[in-house]
């Protein structure tokens, strides 16, 4: 095994081009488990810890450019206002020690259907900035997950940053597991209200071969909210609408039975989380709307 | 490969390190510092917790090559680390040598009370509160608890549980550990 230690982003890209089989290592919280248990014996490890740029974030007008290696702890501490869904999801990852090392770049690299960042990214709307010596491209998050633990990166590409839409409304993240800390999701659900475009986006984790959005459910809810004038009148969402939304979210799942839960349980739980997160976010939207009216 | 890094305030060099080796292995097997424990090697138990550039991490999940040029504090250096934090280190003679660290033990003249040895406040509190049974989880808990008290001198029970949520203990049922951390926090605030 060789340990490659690029000191800059350019050096890292050159190393990855020269050794496409090299395994990047950021926080190491996925990679080292595989090496410790002999599940993986890469020819090259490509250490990304020396590249400061990957640990920085920038808050722009509409989006946050989140360096690939920014640890979850920093997201929780510094980006709660801009990225509430991702901050909530980050808080549910493992333990403080893991959150101090692991980040979204590694979560995307592993692309596990159970990765907690994915539902939040899908719901908020995001693009993955991938780069190689051949050039840079932005991969829409909807096209990023290509199969079980597979992603759209080419062999010579590295993730430099993730561009995530800043929240323009309430966001929620919910996760089912056996306890609060240190738990891989049985299934997870992210929901974001986007009042500026009057749309709702979702993300489902651990209930299909890849993280997915519940598109039919989103379309149904967008139409129902529009029709009922809900965005303007701020009324409570009709229970029948919430119920239908929940059912459509459950229907968007394509889960399996495994040690953590059965397919039926996952479908059921996703429906419950969909209804709850919708209620929570809508309550908070109504609260803010009322507040703004009061002030104006 | 060779790895140069700072351990407990002193520069160290580890040789013949395998590229896939963890920081935990380097500390225990190459530098002879068995304080950080190896229980799961997969980030689940926290018994291998050390501070890397000040931040608590599972040393079993840090690749040895990643610590080149960086600073690690292990439980063997915790007492000195805490002392410096209180006193401030100006002389440059701070830190714990490898030799001292290897010989470090909570024995002193009385291992039951910790008398006669240098302990950090959190270590003393663990002894006084009876928070140590088999002791396998203790080093990781001490490092994690000490870091929390540094950041948050007046933690709520919720804060303590959160900060220690990555450290498993199979013996105590956690109540005495909670007591120990509360005790350390209380003593710390009295001292100020
Ligand atoms: C005890 C434990 C509990 C966990 N619990 C959770 C949990 O609750 N939720 C959850 O989502 N995850 C969990 N994980 C998994 C892991 O912590 C996350 O997936 C984390 O986000 C990985 O980030 P990392 O920086 O440590 O990745 P690494 O291990 O460094 O890398 C992961 C993968 O991504 C690739 N990679 C890393 N950076 C880049 C880059 N810039 N460009 C291209 N590829 C890259 C690597 O080659 C590797 O394939 C847990 C892990 C452990 C050990
Ligand atoms: S040995 Fe590292 S967390 Fe268990
Ligand atoms: S005292 Fe035995 S594991 Fe904690």
**Token couple for B90:** 């100006």
Residue whose tokens read 């068995």: B34
Note the ligand closest to the C-alpha atom of B168: 3
Region of B92 please: left (phi>0), alpha (psi -120 to 50) or beta.
left
Q: What is the ipTM of this complex?
A: 0.94
Q: Is residue A296 part of a domain?
A: no
Q: What is the CATH number of the domain that holds A256?
A: 3.30.390.50
Residue A58: CB atoms within 10 A of its CB come to 11
Among B26, B54, B73, the domain-final residue is B73
Same domain, B110 and B37: no
* Residue B69 shares a structural domain with residue B121: no
Show Cβ contacts of residue A159 under 8 Å, excluding neighbours closer than 6 positions.
Answer: A68, A105, A108, A109, A128, A129, A130, A153
Residue B150 pLDDT: 97
Q: Residues A64, A179: one domain?
A: no
Q: Tell me which residues have their CB closer than 6 angstroms to ligand 1.
A: A 23-31, 33, 48, 68, 93-94, 98, 101-103, 105-107, 109-110, 115-116, 158-159, 182-184; B 42-44
Task: Give the angle B51-B131-B22 at the CA atoms, nearest 5°.
Answer: 30
Note whether A14 and A145 are same-domain residues: yes
A42 and A185 part of one domain: no
Contact B165/A100, CB-based, under 8 Å?
Answer: no
- My answer on whether A123 and A150 are in the same domain is yes
Among protein residues, the one whose CA lies closest to atom 8 of ligand 1: A93
Which of A293, A278, A280, A294 has the alpha carbon at shortest distance from A225?
A278
**The CATH number of the domain where B146 resides is what?**
1.10.150.120
Phi, psi of B170 (to 5 degrees): -95, -5
Say whether A35 and B20 touch across the interface (CB within 8 A). Answer: yes
Domain identity same for B60 and B141:
no
- At residue A63 the predicted structure's pLDDT band, cuts being 50, 70 and 90, is very high
Residue with the larger pLDDT of the pair A294 and A57? A57
B41 lines ligand 2 (CB under 6 A): yes
Same domain, A29 and A104: yes
- Do A19 and A149 reside in the same domain of the chain? yes
CATH code of the domain in which B15 resides: 3.10.20.30
Q: Is B60 in Cβ contact with A36 (below 8 Å)?
A: yes
B185: nearest Cα among B157, B143, B166: B157
Q: What Å distances lie between residue A251 and A208, A219, A259, A281, CA to CA?
A: 11, 14, 22, 21
Same domain, A50 and A114: yes
Domain boundary among B53, B73, B93: B73
For the segment A206-222, the average pLDDT, to the nearest whole number, is 97
Domain range spanning residue A263? Answer: 171-289
Q: Are strands A44-47 and A145-147 parallel, antiparallel or unpaired?
A: unpaired
Residue A181 inside a domain? The answer is yes
Q: What is the mean pLDDT of residues A18-29?
A: 98
In three-state secondary structure terms, A74 is: helix
Last residue of a domain, one of A165, A189, A210: A165
Structure tokens at A81: 């206002």
Whether A89 is covered by a domain: the verdict is: yes
Domains identified in chain B, total number? 2
- Is the CB of B58 inside a 6 Å radius of any atom of ligand 2? yes
In this structure, is residue A294 part of a structural domain? no
In a domain, A180, yes or no: yes
Q: Does any CB of chain B come closer than 8 Å to the CB of residue A184?
A: no
CB contact A91 to B (< 8 Å): no
Clarify whether residues B104 and B178 are in a common domain: yes
| Same domain, yes or no: B8 and B99 | no
Enclosing domain of residue B20? 3-73
Tell me which of A64-78, A279-293, B164-178 is least confident.
Answer: A279-293
Contact across the interface for B19 and A182, Cβ inside 8 Å: no
Name every residue whose Cβ is closer than 8 Å to that of residue B8 and which is 6 or more positions away in sequence. Answer: B72, B73, B74, B76, B77, B80, B81, B95, B96, B101
Whether A23 and A101 map to the same domain: the answer is: yes
User: Is the Cβ pair B42, A47 closer than 8 Å?
Assistant: no
Give CA–CA dist A68/A70, Å, rounded: 6
Q: Are residues A181 and A157 in the same domain?
A: no
Residues A192 and A124 sit within 8 Å (Cβ to Cβ): yes
Tell me, what's the pLDDT at B117? Answer: 77
Specify whether B156 is located in the same domain as B184: yes
Q: Which of B23, B36, B41, B144 to mutate to test the pocket of ligand 2 (most atoms within 8 A of CB)?
A: B41
Q: Dihedral of the CA atoms A116, A119, A120, A123 (nearest 10)? A: 180
A198 located within any domain? yes
User: Domain containing A153 — which CATH number?
Assistant: 3.30.465.10
| pLDDT per residue as tens digits for the range A124-143 | 999 999 999 999 999 999 99
Could you say which of A110, A137, A165 is where a domain stops? A165
Select from A112, A132, A165 the last residue of a domain. Answer: A165
Asked if residue A13 belongs to a domain, the reply is yes
Task: Name the pLDDT band for A290 (thresholds 50, 70, 90).
Answer: low
Residue A93 in any domain: the answer is yes
Radius of gyration of chain A (CA): 20
Give the end of a domain, one of B73, B99, B131: B73
Write the DSSP string, B65-122.
GGGTT-EEE-GGGHHHHHHHHHH---SS--S--HHHHHH--S-TTBTTTTBTS---HH
Ordered strands of the A2-4 beta sheet: A2-4, A44-47, A23-25
Domain identity same for B87 and B17: no
State yes or no: pLDDT of A294 exceeds 50: no
Q: Which residues contact A251 (CB under 8 A, 6 or more apart)?
A: A214, A216, A217, A267
The answer on A147 and A243 residing in a single domain is no
Task: Write out chain B's pLDDT in tens, 192 residues.
Answer: 999 999 999 999 999 999 999 999 999 999 999 999 999 999 999 999 999 999 999 999 999 999 999 999 999 999 999 999 888 765 556 788 888 888 877 666 666 677 777 899 999 999 999 999 999 999 999 999 999 999 999 999 999 999 999 999 999 999 999 999 999 999 998 876
Sheet bearing A171-176, strands edge to edge:
A171-176, A187-194, A199-205
Q: Within this chain, do residues B48 and B89 fall inside the same structural domain, yes or no?
A: no
In sequence order, what are the residues at sequence separation of 6 or more whose Cβ sits closer than 8 angstroms to the Cβ of residue B95?
A: B8, B9, B10, B77, B80
Q: How many domains are there within chain A?
A: 2
**Same structural domain, A91 and A126:** yes
Same domain, A191 and A78: no
Ligand having the closest approach to the CA of A157: 1
């Amino acid at each position: 095994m060789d340990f490659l230690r690029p000191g800059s982003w350019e050096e890292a890209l050159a190393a990855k081009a020269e050794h496409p089989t090299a395994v990047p290592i950021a926080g190491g919280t996925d990679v080292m488990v595989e090496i410790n248990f002999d599940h993986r014996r890469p020819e090259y490890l490509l250490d990304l810890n020396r590249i400061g740029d990957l640990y920085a974030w920038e808050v722009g007008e509409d989006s946050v450019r989140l360096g690939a290696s920014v640890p979850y702890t920093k997201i929780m501490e510094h980006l709660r206002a801009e990225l509430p869904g991702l901050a909530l999801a980050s808080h549910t990852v493992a333990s403080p020690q893991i959150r101090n090392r692991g980040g979204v770049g590694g979560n995307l690299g592993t692309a596990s259907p159970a990765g907690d960042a994915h539902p939040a990214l899908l719901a908020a709307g995001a693009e993955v900035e991938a780069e190689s010596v051949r050039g840079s491209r932005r991969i829409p998050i909807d096209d990023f997950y290509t199969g079980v633990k597979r992603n759209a990166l080419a062999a010579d590409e590295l993730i430099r940053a993730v561009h995530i839409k800043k929240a323009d409304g309430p966001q929620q993240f919910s996760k089912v597991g056996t306890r609060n800390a240190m738990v891989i999701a049985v299934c997870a659900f992210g929901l974001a209200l986007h009042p500026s475009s009057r749309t709702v986006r979702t993300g489902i984790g651990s209930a299909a071969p890849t993280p997915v959005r519940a598109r039919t459910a989103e379309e149904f809810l967008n139409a129902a909210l529009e029709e009922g004038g809900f965005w303007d009148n701020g009324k409570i969402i009709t229970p029948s609408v919430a119920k239908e939304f929940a059912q459509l979210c459950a229907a968007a799942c394509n889960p399996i039975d495994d040690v953590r839960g059965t397919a039926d349980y996952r479908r059921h739980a996703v429906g419950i989380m969909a209804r709850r997160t919708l209620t929570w976010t809508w309550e908070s939207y109504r609260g803010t709307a009322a507040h703004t009216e009061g002030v104006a | 490969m060779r790895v140069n890094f700072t351990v407990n305030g002193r520069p160290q060099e580890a040789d013949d390190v395998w590229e896939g080796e963890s920081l935990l292995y380097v500390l225990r097997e190459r530098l002879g510092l068995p304080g950080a424990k190896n229980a799961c090697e997969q980030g689940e138990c926290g018994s291998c917790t050390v501070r890397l550039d000040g931040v608590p991490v599972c040393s079993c999940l840090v690749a040895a090559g990643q610590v080149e040029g960086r600073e690690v504090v292990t439980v063997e250096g915790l007492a000195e680390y805490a002392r410096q934090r209180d006193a401030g280190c100006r002389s440059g003679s701070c830190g714990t040598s490898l030799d001292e660290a290897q010989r470090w033990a909570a024995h002193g003249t009385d291992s039951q009370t910790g008398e006669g040895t240098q302990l950090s406040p959190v270590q003393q509190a663990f002894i006084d509160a009876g928070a140590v049974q088999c002791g396998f989880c203790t080093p990781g808990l001490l490092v994690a608890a000490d870091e929390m008290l540094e950041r948050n001198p007046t933690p709520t029970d919720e804060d303590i549980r959160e900060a220690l949520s990555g450290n498993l203990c199979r013996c105590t049922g956690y109540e005495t550990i909670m007591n120990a951390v509360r005790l350390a926090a209380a003593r710390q605030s009295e001292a100020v």
